[in-house]
A and B are shown apart, each in its own frame.
Chain A
Amino acid sequence: MFLFSQARQYVEQYQDEKRIFRLKEHRILFIFGLLIAFLFVPFVGPDYLFNAILVPFLVLALAGLGLNILTGYTGQLSLGAAAFMAVGAFATYNLELRIPQLPLLVSIFLGGIIAALAGIVVGLPSLRIKGFYLIVSTLAAQFFVPWLFTQYGWFTNNNASGVITAPRMEILGYSINSPVGHYLLTLSTVVVLTVLARNLINSQYGRNFRAVRDMETAAITIGIPVSQTKLLAFAISSFYLGIAGALWAFAYLGTIEADGLDLNRSFQILFIIIIGGLGSLTGSFLGAAFIVLLPILLSVLGQAVFGQAIDQALLQNLQKIIFGGLIIYFLIKEPEGLSRLLRNLYHRLRKWPLRY
């Protein structure tokens, strides 16, 4: 049913190019999907769906989106994604704690801004070093940030365990401290930021990003300010990651320690965009779905099929083997990620029964 006729839908103006979907029917379906997510799901979904599936999925998709802007679109490799998430989370926490007058959304926004500033600082070496060597500088951030938050008690309000707890979650006097509230907060943030990212990518800046990624020398030659573009990419990417971090800490877990956002989390986010598709916004969502939902699905299936009948450790290891196998399979099948796989499938279907 997604194969709508393209008849009489021409791209005539530049404005039309900017649209998320070229076909009118796709746009209608997209809006309809959003309506379902906002109006239908909150009414019927069980807590488990919000708390354990949708919220982490959306937050990691947002984090993937942030990293995609930096790595997928601008071509700057980074292993510091989790560090920026931590900056965002701790900044939001401290803003809420020390300036209680600030509304929650403003704190989260400012937390993102602080993460963006941290991103610019970490991004400075990218002006000199390129490619894989840049990993070293972002890796340094990844080790430095958790150390900073653990070492100095001020950041965690002198909590003995170095754990911060979510502030009271309220927007305009309405408490959103419920699974549905967390879900709606996350969903609206993610939708708004995704639309913004889409527009950014289609703007002059987005084209600069891709020019820098594809060939730096050529980009300089045609007059693109490479250093500014790189720093801007770092800032925006970190802004997204910072907000994702704040949501991860407060809308999902409700508590966080600096070590909860360690190198493994950075790898996880990097895998999300590699599996989903570098340089694709949809890819971030697909990758997050793959990384977050598939293990849960396997685990639920494993319990449903075998239950307590077979050795539990064996069952767990089997799930890991299947998961790893699937990653390898998909990357061999389509090295450019799940989003490319889906796109190929779509074009295949359109032309069916003709081939190519």
Chain B
Amino acid sequence: MKLFKSLWFWLVVVAIALIAIVFVTKKDKQNPPEQKQQAATEQQTQLSDKNAQYFPLQSYRVGPYAAGGTGFFGGFIDYMKAVNAKGGVNGVKLVWSECETEYVVEKGVECYERLKNGLNGAPAAATNPLSVGIAYATLERSTKDKLPLITINHGRTDSTDGRVFPYVFPLQLNPYSEVSAIINYLGQQSGSLEKLKGKKIVVLYHGSPYGKETIPVIEILSKKYGFEVTNIEVPHPGNEQQSQWLNIRRIQPDWVILRGWGVMNPVALKTAQKVGYPTNKIIGNIWSNSEEDAAPAGAAANGFISITTHPSGTNFPILQEIKQLVIDKGQSDLADTNRFGTVYYNLGVVNGILNVEAVRVAQNKFGKRPLTGEEVRWGFEHINLTEARLKELGAYGLVQPLKLTCEDHEGGGAVRFQQWDGKEWKVISDWVQADRALLRPIIEQSSEKYAKEQGIKIRDCATEE
């Protein structure tokens, strides 16, 4: 019995147990290929959790950006619910689970790591963090894990170049296109782009990677068209902007481009009114364009113009379908269903449409079963939303025609302008296209520099099928 009292004895026992565990787990790691095949052959016609495609949602519902997060993820989840109610994607059910990021980078990374392996055997299709900071932090991880990273309407601009960033998709509109489209619109307003010469533009940006992303491109455009540009930063989260707006009043710019996010937007509009800057000279960017941005500013928001890739409203067939299948049954993810059809919600729906479309495209090639991230990536690269296809989806007018390729992970690059009338957004322009031919070389230069720094081999798109 003396043996059992000896510390060394117990240590040896524990050590042997641990070594045994190492051996057992090593063996497990060699087995999985067989399991995968099993899952692949398991074809089921009815919806079940076994035959499912998983979407990890790094959502945020608390914190300063909760309005954006709840709307976007509400729309995304409601769309997936509607797809499930109609029988899933070719019989494959969509499942998801959430992890709160609070828009904080390290929480987003933790969530990514937690969710990336799928749910109950359903493989993850793509991640949608809706945060530039998190996207930057998980960019390399996504590439290593072969899991597409979707940054709709935002993200790292040079990830448009799919040759260097195979797994990153700034869908519809990357930050450079956004700025370029705004400048093109301002050119239209002043008669022509040449007339921008000598005009003054102030960019009021959110003090985050997202906000700073466009500084270089606006400088390039200002040199090209000869307008003066001043970049002014608002520190995150932006609920105090007195000094910035006094500065703007001193500069007396022809336009202010508001590159805001969350609570910064209504504060900007209110402060503009306080210092007497006309609201209809403020152009909100893609993240300053929602009801949640304009409405809290009250009368100060009247006349505020912003860009959008997707009109708000509920008149689209797809939204009516969601209303019928999800909202009216009381299954909506929104806590307040009055937000149905708002900008963030509709963006969530658009995001859902694009994600599901990628899965569908990939299924046509790889078979109607749950797909791996790598296969879904192929799907994203072959999305081709023509007008006819958009009508089929019931999303004509909600989503712009979009064609992605191996080189081009953005697709559209067009925006419309809308104006706030005190109650809702009114679309005031047709599609305004960004000067993508001008931007492409800048993007390629930047992505090639990144490839060199990181030692990434640039894909040759000609050899890919």
Q: Interface of A with B (CB < 8 Å)?
A: 1, 4, 25, 28-29, 32, 36, 40, 43-44, 47-48, 51-53, 56, 150, 160-163, 165-166, 168, 252-255, 257, 259-260, 296, 299-300, 303, 307-308, 311-313, 316-317, 319-320
Contact = CB atoms under 8 A, between A and B. Distances in A.
B366 interface: no
B297 interface: no
B208 interface: yes
A162 B106 CA distance: 17
Contact of A312 (B8, B15, B61, B210): B61
B367 interface: no
What 9 A-B pairs have minimum CB-CB distances, sorted nearest first?
Answer: A161-B209, A313-B61, A52-B113, A52-B110, A51-B113, A48-B113, A316-B100, A43-B22, A316-B62
Interface residues of B, number: 56
B229 to A, nearest CB: 15
Contacts of B233: 150
Contacts of B157: 160
Nearest to B216: A160
Contact of B212 (A52, A161, A255): A161
Interface of A, helix, strand, loop or mixed by DSSP: helix
A28 B208 contact: no
Contact of B7 (A25, A51, A260, A313): A25
Nearest to B61: A313
B110 A296 contact: yes
B113 A162 contact: no
Nearest to B455: A168
A40 B7 CA distance: 20
Given A160-B215, A308-B97, A254 B156 contact: no
13 contacts: A4-B7, A25-B7, A28-B11, A43-B26, A44-B21, A47-B113, A56-B110, A160-B446, A161-B209, A168-B454, A259-B208, A299-B99, A312-B59
Contacts of A48: 113-114, 117
Nearest to A1: B10
A162 B212 contact: yes
Contacts of A47: 113
Interface stretch (B123-131, B133-141, B419-427): B133-141
Nearest to A53: B110
A52 B114 contact: yes
Contact of A160 (B61, B106, B109, B213): B213
A89 to B, nearest CB: 13
Contacts of A160: 157, 212-216, 446
B132 A307 contact: no
Contacts of B109: 51-52, 252-253
Contact of B236 (A252, A259, A320): A259
Given A48-B113, A165-B453, A313-B70, 13 more contacts: A28-B11, A44-B25, A48-B117, A51-B113, A56-B110, A150-B212, A161-B213, A252-B106, A252-B109, A255-B140, A303-B99, A312-B61, A319-B100
A253 B106 contact: yes
A319 B61 CA distance: 12
